Amino acid sequence: MNITEREQNGVTIYSIEGRVDSEGAVDLDMALQAATASGKHKMVLEMAEVRYINSAGLRTLADILTQDQKAGGDLKLVNLHPKVQRVFQIIGFERFFNIYESVDEAVAAF
């Protein structure tokens, strides 16, 4: 998995490429936990290149969403691949996450 980080208008944006499986979820969790520990609670995940996510990845996203919201921030998702979008629909995660078509749209929503 490849994770890149950048800032835009005070929002931390992560571009994620690869599978968010058990191994990828650990990498993602470490990156996002480090960000929250350093006070970054406004996050956007650009996920167009994520074709697979398992329960470990979903748990990581739910944990970070909860931490960010408790700190007054949020975790917004962008460009979900149709397969990943379907997983979110099946388990009902679309009710908890704000999902956008573009990074600019997600950043503007903060």
Q: Does domain 2-108 have CATH number 3.30.750.24?
A: yes
The reported pLDDT for the residue numbered 59 is 95
For 73, the 3-state DSSP assignment is coil
The reported pLDDT for the residue numbered 1 is 86
The reported pLDDT for the residue numbered 17 is 95
**pLDDT of 4-18, one tens digit each?**
999 999 999 999 999
Give the Cα separation of 41 and 64 in Å (integer): 9
The reported pLDDT for the residue numbered 83 is 93
Low-confidence spans in the chain with pLDDT less than 70: none
Give the Cα separation of 66 and 34 in Å (integer): 15
